[in-house]
Amino acid sequence: MPAPLMLLWTDHDKPYREAIARAGLEDGRMRFAFLPRSAQPDEALLAEAEALFAWGAPPGMLARMPRLRWIQALTAGVEAWLARPDLRPEVVLTCARGTHRVQMPENILGALFHITKPYHAAALDQRERRWTRRVSETLAGKTLGILGLGAIGREVARKAAALEMRVIGTRRGGAGAIEGVERALGPEGTEAVLAESDFVLLLLPTTPETENLMDARRLRAMKRSAWLLNFARGHLIVDEDLVAAVREGVIAGAVLDVFREEPLPPEHPFWTTPGITVLPHIGGLHPKRDEMVAALLAENARRFRDGEPLREAVDRAKGY
């Protein structure tokens, strides 16, 4: 019986080839087929592949892979995979959870500094050779509310606490002790977190419970001086409600890194609403991100070959 075959459908194959070689997986007990995303796998390859590594796949492709047992996604979010009608229940889906641990918290802290420090205004002043002294707001003493105290949320909390911020938040597992977090509540504590926070950070997955979470009612539950930061999923926010809330002074503003449609259409009001900062989904980008995902892929490929449980498996009932 031939060794199991994995199809790696990616344009950046070098780090993945190197990770597979370092892990000693080229010993014949598992096979790997690399294909650029511009090329379409033929029917023979689809029929033989038992594992798939890809950003996504055309509609119906998974139905043409009868031996498929495992999909490794390149991202932490897997909503698009879970929405596919051809994703069979027996296929294990794993994500790239954990590969954003360093870069995402740093970019979130960057957003907090962007809100409170006058560097952007100073850069604009420099263009005009204009000397304008400004007083920056402090982060120390402010309350950061994190909706979604998962791996990234906990790392943000630890680093924010080092800046003398008070951190509160919610997590699906309910109340409990977390380093750097003064109070962690279950999802039922969302309203309390919104009411107390100077900055509300969204780090939730998109599920039926979280879609459209930040609507007009919840935005009104925030302080008028508070800022909303979304580094999770665009579907957590009702776009028109946020635009209205910022324009009407219901909240102070927002920093958004994710959107319902990406790239964000040029006619979208987020671009032109004063108080809303648009980031082009840079939160998790890292100069060595492919190497991080490649290490996870190689570990999971070894586990798959040896019949061991795979890391970062997605719970389909939870949606992440």
295-to-15, 167, 289, 306 alpha-carbon distances in Å: 9, 32, 10, 17
Q: Which tens digits make up the pLDDT trace of 26-67? A: 999 999 999 999 999 999 999 999 999 999 999 999 999 999
What pTM was estimated for this model as a whole?
0.90
Residue 75: CB atoms within 10 A of its CB come to 17
pLDDT in tens, 61-119: 999 999 999 999 999 989 999 999 999 999 999 999 989 999 999 999 999 999 999 99
Which pLDDT score, from 0 to 100, does residue 1 have? 76
Pairing of strands 199-202, 227-230: parallel
The whole-number pLDDT of residue 215 equals 98
Domains, the chain: 5-99+288-306 (3.40.50.720), 103-278 (3.40.50.720)
* Average pLDDT of every residue of the chain: 96
Share of the chain above pLDDT 70, in %: 100
pLDDT in tens, 210-223: 999 999 999 999 99
Sign of CA dihedral 77, 83, 86, 92: positive
Q: Is the pLDDT of residue 174 over 90?
A: no
- Count the residues in the chain: 320
Q: How many Å apart are CA 156 and CA 200, to the nearest integer?
A: 12
The pLDDT-based confidence of 162 (bands split at 50, 70, 90) is very high
3-state SS string for 70-127: EEEECCCCCHHHHCCCCCCCCCEEECCCCCCCCHHHHHHHHHHHHHHCCHHHHHHHHH
Q: Report whether 206 contacts 79 (CB < 8 A).
A: yes
Report the phi/psi class of residue 164: left, alpha or beta, with left for phi > 0 and alpha for psi in -120 to 50: left
The DSSP 8-state label assigned to residue 30 in this structure reads S
Using alpha carbons, list the distances in angstroms from residue 114 to 71, 122, 242, 261. 38, 12, 19, 24
**How far is Cα 201 from Cα 233, in angstroms, rounded to an integer?**
12
d(CA 7, CA 176): 41
Which residues are annotated as catalytic? 233, 262, 281
Distance CA 182, CA 194 (A): 15
Q: What does the pLDDT look like over 175-224, one tens digit per residue?
A: 788 999 999 999 999 999 999 999 999 999 999 999 999 999 999 999 99
